[in-house]
Amino acid sequence: MFRLSSFAILVLSLLLLKSMSVDAQVVTPLPDKSVQEAEGGVWSPQPREVSPGKVECYTPTPAPSDADILFDGFDLSQWESVNGGDAKWPVAEGVFTADKKLGNIRTKKIYRDFQLHLEWKIPVDVQDGTHSQHRGNSGVFLQGKYEIQILDSYRHPTYIDGQAGSIYKQSPPLVNAMNPPGEWNTYDVIYKAPTFTDDGEFITNPIVTVLHNGVLIQNHFIIKGKSAHDDGPIILQAHRDRTTTDVSFRNIWIREL
């Protein structure tokens, strides 16, 4: 009878473990996702779901006394269109709603280091599109450059560095603290801007911490990329997706640090 030596058994075991390790690192799309969607980003492991506290989500968070009020429930006087002119997204009953046809809006004032609070809601009638990103897609851009994703990620997977709370295409959220469509979500963002040499090289990268519905989802994350730039606005995105109704916002304020 043929018998393997102890050394041969050891070598085979190591090769098997290596093969299993390599296989474990291969990211495959969910069964109903196309190759194109899978190539859009990493799909697994999906961040685990965490049920956030409801009191914070139901009740608008009052602004501190030293905050700039970016939306007070009445008008968009602190905002303008990125295409020039006034911000004309519709305002009604203390809420304003993104309008894809009108494009993105930005704050008239520019910011550097700050604490930002905003509240947003995915419409109840959000519907499946041909892609996972077609569900209430929007985003908030820090200094006009670095995007924190806004999306319906409630029990609806997408590539993890593109779901709600991600630093888009850089960092998935630590957990999924999403409320379902029709309920308000909150973002609390602490942001420290990058610094540069006179030649435009990074001295320090931008750093961001994000709480989603009171749950920590980005912990002192160092953002990569982007060339030298000055202070910039907060931008809200009117994403051109197939969602039937657009994302709504309320109660936005910011504190300069």
DSSP string, 193-220: --EE-TTS-EEE--EEEEEETTEEEEEE
Distance in angstroms (rounded) separating the CA atoms of residues 247 and 121 = 6
The alpha carbons of the chain give a radius of gyration, in whole angstroms, of 22
71: Cβ–Cβ under 8 A, 6 or more apart, which residues?
78, 79, 96, 249, 250, 251, 252, 253
pTM for the predicted model, two decimal places: 0.83
Domains recognised in the chain with CATH numbers: 47-256 (2.60.120.560)
Preceding amide of 52 cis, omega within 30: no
Higher confidence at residue 60 or residue 160? Answer: 160
What is the per-residue pLDDT across 45-66, written as a single tens digit (0 to 9) for each?
Answer: 999 999 998 766 677 889 999 9
Distance in angstroms (rounded) separating the CA atoms of residues 83 and 86 = 9
The answer, yes or no, to whether residue 189 has pLDDT greater than 90, is yes
CA distances from 46 to 30, 58, 153, 205, 234 (A): 11, 26, 11, 27, 28
* Rounded to 5°, angle at Cα 166 from 164 and 168: 110
Distance in angstroms (rounded) separating the CA atoms of residues 241 and 239 = 6
Higher confidence at residue 189 or residue 241? Answer: 189
The answer, yes or no, to whether residue 36 has pLDDT greater than 50, is no
Give the DSSP letter of residue 54: H
pLDDT band at 40 (very low <50, low <70, confident <90, very high): low
173: Cβ–Cβ under 8 A, 6 or more apart, which residues?
47, 160, 163, 164, 165, 166, 210, 212, 217, 218
pLDDT given for residue 42 in this prediction:
85
Interval 86-108 mean pLDDT: 96
Distance in angstroms (rounded) separating the CA atoms of residues 232 and 237 = 15
pLDDT band at 8 (very low <50, low <70, confident <90, very high): low
- Among 34-38, 151-155, 212-216, which stretch is predicted with the lowest mean pLDDT? 34-38
* Residue 103 φ then ψ, to 5°: 80, 180
